[in-house]
């Protein structure tokens, strides 16, 4: 007798190849007695045959709308825009609790249909830390792009990056960077702030995989408060710190204007240009895979990368890692009165009660 029916819906956000459930994760759920339904998808980094091989049920893309009412709909990114009532329990990143665009309309659909939302962003442990996150691969991918941009700067390529596509796996990415670095006589030095966090560890691991010099900064190195002049003496600076209170900025335009600056690439993995706590107050917009670099300084070149979906560069590894973290909690869905589920449900109800 099956425990719970989990229905993996196909992602519809353009170019989103990541998934919340890998074939390996589907197998673990099925082995534990869960029923797993997977929508066929041309975007999912894992081919549908891999899910079929572990005895998951395959169905058409978008058919979750007609799924049995007891099915729990699992996804990653936003639902397709529509207005029909939502009757199921959903697990995904809804981006609705901070009053983002369309939040009232979305929560109204849940309220009308009687459905419930367990937002992935708010599945947290007792210390209020997310139980599953893409941070490591955000840092890894951000560092990778910074090195590729730096190499192209040295070769006077403008813009240094454009029209980025995802890689089939980490090794293909590393091979690409190695080939690029081999064209030069020198290699860049990186400085990572937030090196002990999830994304910081990813950035440091990328540097070490390529045998690049990397300065690892965290609380001890930053306790004196910014701006930090040491930043301008690295070739590449990678910010992996998510600030949630007022602090002096890590860098300023005045600091970057110094003639002794060697820094030519900045990557803001934390990527919060719109918040008042932005530790890099030198830009006001995110960049994209199509146009990854924002040129901050033209005379003595300085480019900034601030992409808010960096893990999409490596959809295979990031999906496997995230799915493994999430799986522990999916396996408890037969009793949603325990674990991460009650807090997430209570937050959903409090937010829907405001509309």
Q: Which residues are catalytic?
A: 77, 95
Spatial distance between the Cα atoms of 236 and 246, rounded to a whole number of angstroms? 25
Spatial distance between the Cα atoms of 117 and 65, rounded to a whole number of angstroms? 15
Residue carrying structure tokens 């064209």: 183
For residue 97, give the nearest of 75, 115, 80, 120 by alpha carbon.
120
Residue carrying structure tokens 């910014």: 226
Query: What Rg, from alpha-carbon coordinates, does the chain have?
Result: 22
Spatial distance between the Cα atoms of 83 and 111, rounded to a whole number of angstroms? 12
For residue 318, give the nearest of 77, 114, 157, 104 by alpha carbon.
77
**Cβ–Cβ under 8 Å, residues 122 and 343:** yes
């Amino acid at each position: 007798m099956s425990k719970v029916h989990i229905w993996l819906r196909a992602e519809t956000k353009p170019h989103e190849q990541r998934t919340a459930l890998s074939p390996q994760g589907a197998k673990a759920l099925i082995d534990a007695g869960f029923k797993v339904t997977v929508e066929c998808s041309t975007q999912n980094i894992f081919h549908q045959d891999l899910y079929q091989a572990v005895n998951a049920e395959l169905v058409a893309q978008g058919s979750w709308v007609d799924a049995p009412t007891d099915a729990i709909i699992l996804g990653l990114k936003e639902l397709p825009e529509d207005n029909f009532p939502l009757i199921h329990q959903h697990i995904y990143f809804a981006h609705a609790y901070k009053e983002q665009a369309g939040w009232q309309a979305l929560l109204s659909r849940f309220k009308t249909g009687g459905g419930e939302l367990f937002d992935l962003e708010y599945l947290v442990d007792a210390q209020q830390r997310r139980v599953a996150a893409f941070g490591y691969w955000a840092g890894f991918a951000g560092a990778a792009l910074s090195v590729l941009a730096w190499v192209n700067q040295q070769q006077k390529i403008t813009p240094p990056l454009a029209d980025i596509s995802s890689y089939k796996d980490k090794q293909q990415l590393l091979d690409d960077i190695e080939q690029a670095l081999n064209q030069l006589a020198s290699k860049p030095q990186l400085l990572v702030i937030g090196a002990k966090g999830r994304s910081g560890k990813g950035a440091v691991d990328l540097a070490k995989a390529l045998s690049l010099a990397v300065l690892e900064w965290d609380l001890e190195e930053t306790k004196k408060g910014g701006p930090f002049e040491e930043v301008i003496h690295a070739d590449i600076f990678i910010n992996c710190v998510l600030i949630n209170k007022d602090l002096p900025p890590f860098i300023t335009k005045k600091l970057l204007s110094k003639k002794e600056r060697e820094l030519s690439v900045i990557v803001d993995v934390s990527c919060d240009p719109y918040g008042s706590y932005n530790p890099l107050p030198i830009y006001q917009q995110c960049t994209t895979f199509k146009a990854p670099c924002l040129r901050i300084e033209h005379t003595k070149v300085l480019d900034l990368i601030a992409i808010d979906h960096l893990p999409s560069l490596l959809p295979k590894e990031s999906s496997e890692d995230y799915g493994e973290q999430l799986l522990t909690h999916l396996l408890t869905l037969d009793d949603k009165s325990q674990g991460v589920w009650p807090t997430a449900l209570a937050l959903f109800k409090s937010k829907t009660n405001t509309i």
